[in-house]
Structures are given as structure tokens and as C-alpha cells.
Copies of this chain bind each other. A is one copy, B any other.
Amino acid sequence: MEQASRSAGTVRPGGRTARVRAAVLEATQDELVEHGFHGLTMDQVAARAGVGKTTVYRRWGSPAGLVTDLMTELADQSSPHADTGSIESDLRVNALAVCEAVNDGRLGATFQAMIAAATCDRQAADALRAFYLRRIEEWAGAVELAVQRGDLPRGTDAMEVIRAVSAPLYYRLVVTREPVTPEVAERSVQRALAAARAGAFIP
């Protein structure tokens, strides 16, 4: 969810189809933030987007279809991994972006709503999992470059390093409900790096 645009509806230019999709995804995110996944209805999204109900039903099928497409769009909009030449700096960019995203009113609420929905809805869980796997895979590239440079040990599991940077932040956000601050982000980077340098991410 790093650096995803706050507004799913304001980015992609294109023709009518793209404009309809942008409006529908924007409305989906608004409804998700305000009412949660279980309060998300096709009719309300259609009304809010100013799009015909039949179009929304035909193209997205269900509320799960809407949030799946929203998560795809948020992943599409997310930044590629950093490549500063230093794994410490790259991971810091990642951790601070997660920190900023989860503290962002709209984006943070979107992800909390999806996390809540995923606890009891299979399709919401699938959409959430797909989003994070894409983001983890993207950022694993930074770790792979560090291994190639010889900055981290050969055989380091790159995706696991990225998961390790994010995990303490999300753990505080949704489990222990403690603040997620830039200091927390920095500590997470330092601990993941210390473990990686010690070879603890070699399977």
C-alpha cells in the first residue's frame, strides 16, 4: 500500500470506459471507508459514481468484485521499489511509506476496512492477499539488488526481508493497536537488516 494515490479515481486518463472505472473505484473506496465492506452495496456505489446500476453489476458483479478491482488499482498505482544503492535506505523508504499509508486517513481506513472484511469474507481475503503479494514481490527487488551487490548474504529470502520490515508496523496497527510512527518504522528496518546480515533470512 506504499505511496498509492489517495484517490483511485483521479489518476488514469483514458476513454469513457476508463472514466467509468475511475468513478466506480473512487466511489467504492469512499463507501468502504464510510461503511466498511459489509456496508458496501452495488446500488450505493453506482449512485455515488453517477453510473448506471446495470453497468456496475455487469462489469463488477458483486461488492467483492469491486474491492478486488480497487485493490488491483491501488497496487497498479503504487510506486516501484526504491533503488538508492543502499539497502538500508531502500528499506527505510519502504517502511516510511507503509507508515505514511497506514496513518493516511483515507488509505489507512481503506486497508483497515479490507483487513476487517478479510477476517470473514473469502473474496476480500483473496483481494487483500493478492495486493500484498504484489507489493512484497515488487520490493523484494531491492533486496535482490543488495544481495547482488554483496551487501546481504547470498541465499537471503528477499520477500521474507520485506515481510519482516512491514510486519511490526501492521502488528501494531491492527493487533496491539499501538501507534505506528517513523521511529517504529526505523526500528523495524534496523532489526530486519540486523537479522538479514546475520544470515537469518537464508532458508
Contact = CB atoms under 8 A, between A and B. Distances in A.
Interface of A: 36, 38, 112-113, 115-120, 125-126, 128-129, 132-133, 136, 160, 163-164, 166-168, 170-172, 174-178, 187, 190-195, 197-201
Contacts of A116: 115-117, 119-120
A195 B161 CA distance: 13
Contact of A178 (B36, B129, B166, B177): B129
B113 A119 contact: yes
A138 to B, nearest CB: 14
B132 A176 contact: yes
Q: How many copies does the complex hold?
A: 2
Given A116-B119, A191-B200, 20 more contacts: A38-B38, A112-B120, A116-B116, A116-B120, A118-B174, A129-B176, A129-B177, A132-B175, A163-B168, A164-B168, A166-B175, A170-B174, A190-B200, A191-B195, A191-B201, A192-B195, A194-B194, A195-B195, A195-B198, A195-B200
A144 B168 CA distance: 21
A154 to B, nearest CB: 17
Contacts of A112: 119-120
Interface centre among A172, A178, A191 (most CB of B within 10 A): A191
